[in-house]
Structure 1
Amino acid sequence: MLDWNDTQYFLAVAESGSTLSAGRVLRVSQTTVARRIAALEEALGLTLFERRRAGYVLTAVGETLLPQARALRASAAQFVEAAAARKRDAGGTVRLTAEESYVVGVLPAMLRDLRERHPDIVIELDASEDVRDLSAAAADVAIRVTKNIETGSGLVGRRIGDDYWTVYCSRIYAATHSLPRNRHELAGHPMIGGGGGAIGRYYGTWLRENGLEGAIAMQHSSVSGLLSAVRSGMGLASLPCFVAEADEDFVRCLPHARSGSREIWLVTHERLRHVPRVRTVMDFLGEALRRHADLVTERLLTPSQAVLGASPTTLST
């Protein structure tokens, strides 16, 4: 069997004139060079060099094969450079934008796993409640929660699932208070308001529609503050199930409801879809978010209050 690595020994000897000089170039012993040349000649069934006291001299056959050997070396170098360029394209920075609730409550473990799998990719995370314009290169990848994904804007991606919401409290709160059995009983519990941005607007509308402004015990300007207040046991809040079900400290008080037909999407712009590093992030997060969505759906089929002794059949939103 021909060992293609032996061609580098052939070239080194042909270009230096001796196994000793070739060994210095290749940083191996003279004996190793001589042995590899002999192995190459045996594999080819040809004599490539005349062994002389002054060194190795190419035979006529060796002279004929020298240009092809040099072409093989050049092709190998081109292959290595192409692979290196591909690796450079596969690495680098990918700008990811998502609502703060996802950045805080869903993405940390996923991005840790992405880093372990693809250490050459650096994620630049934008925890923004504003919708970044991907067509204007304001971000590379986005997690969008929306009623209608923009059409005609060049966005491509995958639908992750439905945006379900319901009321949550902490395990601390659940252990010391009787929980509401329906939305009418929410007024008897302290509510944590706010959240900022899109979540704050959606949540604020829900509080007003259910007449719960008077039940607000604390108002937070950020999602992080809202989640920490609920986790501390201060009160209840309506939260996206995609985020809250990922937190073992949260207890679902009421059955979930779909939030005005809003859906969760992972998108990028069509001009970036084949950029290796963007494709890698899209594929990785797409699978991770889909698995998370399946887990959330599975958990929503089991009412939390059943564990606490309340009858799930009496709950309604």
Structure 2
Amino acid sequence: MLDWNDLRYFLAVARTGSTLAAGKSLGVSQTTAARRVAALEAAAGVTLFERRQAGYVLTAVGEALRERAEAVEAAAHRFAEDAGSHGREASGTVRLTMQEIHAVTIMAPILRDLREAHPTIRIELDTSEQVRDLEAGEADIALRCAGRPSGSGLVGRRVADEPWTVYCSRDYAARHGTPRRARDMIDHVIIGGGGKGVWRIYRAWLEQHGLADSVAIHHDSATGLLSAVRSGMGLATLPCFVADTDPELIRCVPIPKEVERGVWLLTHERSRHIPRVRVVLDFLGERLTQLARRQAQAGTGMAPGSIMPASAVQDQSGSS
């Protein structure tokens, strides 16, 4: 069986013309250099050198294979350089953008653990409602809620489905009961809002079921909806990926059977191989997928997705 390390001896002898000089360049004895070349010839089943009194001379076969051996040597050097680069450069700042509701709930413990695992990486967290342009370099990584991605330039992983449905707090349910259908919500306090994109869909659903007049307070962000529901004020629609992790919340209305939108972890193709970005992508991807899998096993309907190319994501919720 061919020992790849023997190629080093082959090239050293080819370049110096003797096993003595090759041994010195590699820090081994002449005997070792000669033995390793002989072992390579035996494993390959060819004669690589003519042994002459003046030294070793490549045969025609040896000349033909020298270029191949040098290509292997170059590839090994590149591997070592890239590995060293990853080890050295997995540090610095990574700019991460997402909705505030994700930042203050599911992502808070994940980012804590990321810091403990990779203390040389600094996270700049942007929770603006404005969608950041990854292609233009406005952020390195985005956690984005969207439907089917399209276009070019971005690569991403759909880490979970992203249905929304109605929730209340356990305290509210103890005082007022838990409605299980939309028509049962008519006598309950409803919290509206959630941001421009969310409210457009949420309001249409309320109007469809004759519930628009039951809205008692309007919050301009999804985080506001979550806070109001937690306080026991009333009912509101919330993202299941977030709400199902909160033991104080109760799902009232079943989620739709078909879920088009998903939670995506995205970066630009130019950035995906930068060591610090790759480390953060892999860490967040693994943890978010684990969370989705736990929710699926608990019967909450979440499902982790797979890696696929994406670009120009059509974001309806105003996520970053």
The equivalences for 1:130-145 within 5 A come to 130-145=130-145
Give the drift of 1:207. Answer: 2.6
CA distance in 1, matches of 2:229, 2:258: 20
Distance 1:82 1:167, change over 3 A: closer
> Could you tell me which residue of structure 2 aligns to residue 118 of structure 1?
118
Cα deviation 1:165-191 (Å, max 9, x = unaligned): 211000110111121121111121101
Which structure has more helix as a fraction of its residues? Answer: 1
Give the drift of 1:204. Answer: 3.0
TM-score (norm 2): 0.65
CA distance in 2, matches of 1:213, 1:259: 24
Q: 1:97–1:126: 8 Å Cα contact kept in structure 2? A: yes
> Could you tell me which residue of structure 1 aligns to residue 157 of structure 2?
158
TM-score (norm 1): 0.65
CA distance in 2, matches of 1:197, 1:122: 31
Give the drift of 1:258. Answer: 5.5
Structure 2: segments with no counterpart, 5+ residues: 1-27, 30-80, 302-320
CA distance in 1, matches of 2:207, 2:174: 28
> Could you tell me which residue of structure 1 aligns to residue 71 of structure 2?
none
Counting matched residue pairs gives: 225
2:104 is paired with a residue whose SS is: helix
Q: 1:245–1:299: 8 Å Cα contact kept in structure 2? A: no
Distance 1:99 1:190, change over 3 A: same
Give the drift of 1:212. Answer: 1.9
Matched, 1:107 2:118: no
Q: 1:161–1:263: 8 Å Cα contact kept in structure 2? A: yes
Q: 2:163–2:259: 8 Å Cα contact kept in structure 1? A: no
Give the drift of 1:296. Answer: 2.1
Distance 1:200 1:96, change over 3 A: farther
> Could you tell me which residue of structure 2 aligns to residue 59 of structure 1?
none
CA distance in 2, matches of 1:288, 1:258: 25
Q: Which amino acid aligns with 2:289?
A: R
> Could you tell me which residue of structure 1 aligns to residue 180 of structure 2?
181
CA distance in 2, matches of 1:135, 1:175: 49
CA distance in 1, matches of 2:297, 2:197: 26
Give the drift of 1:199. Answer: 3.0
The equivalences for 1:133-282 within 5 A come to 133-152=133-152, 154-257=153-256, 261-282=260-281
Cα deviation 1:250-309 (Å, max 9, x = unaligned): 11112112676112211100000100000001100001110111122233459xxxxxxx
Give the drift of 1:202. Answer: 3.4
Q: 2:96–2:142: 8 Å Cα contact kept in structure 1? A: yes
Give the drift of 1:203. Answer: 2.6
2:284 is paired with a residue whose SS is: helix
Q: Which amino acid aligns with 1:124?
A: E
CA distance in 1, matches of 2:277, 2:230: 35
CA distance in 2, matches of 1:142, 1:222: 18
RMSD (CA atoms): 2.5
CA distance in 2, matches of 1:224, 1:176: 24
Q: 2:222–2:238: 8 Å Cα contact kept in structure 1? A: no
> Could you tell me which residue of structure 1 aligns to residue 46 of structure 2?
none
Q: Which amino acid aligns with 1:135?
A: E
> Could you tell me which residue of structure 1 aligns to residue 43 of structure 2?
none
Give the drift of 1:117. Answer: 0.3
> Could you tell me which residue of structure 1 aligns to residue 93 of structure 2?
93
CA distance in 2, matches of 1:143, 1:205: 26
1:277 is paired with a residue whose SS is: helix
Give the drift of 1:210. Answer: 2.9
CA distance in 2, matches of 1:277, 1:212: 48
Q: Which amino acid aligns with 2:132?
A: R
Q: % of aligned pairs identical?
A: 52
| More divergent stretch after superposition (267-276 vs 127-136) | 127-136
Q: 1:192–1:229: 8 Å Cα contact kept in structure 2? A: yes
Q: 1:168–1:251: 8 Å Cα contact kept in structure 2? A: yes
Structure 1: segments with no counterpart, 5+ residues: 1-43, 46-80, 303-317
Cα deviation 1:205-250 (Å, max 9, x = unaligned): 3333333211111111222222111111110001110010111111
| More divergent stretch after superposition (272-281 vs 287-296) | 287-296
Larger Rg: 1
| More divergent stretch after superposition (291-300 vs 158-167) | 291-300
Q: 2:195–2:220: 8 Å Cα contact kept in structure 1? A: yes
Q: 1:129–1:198: 8 Å Cα contact kept in structure 2? A: no
1:219 is paired with a residue whose SS is: strand
Q: 1:163–1:259: 8 Å Cα contact kept in structure 2? A: no
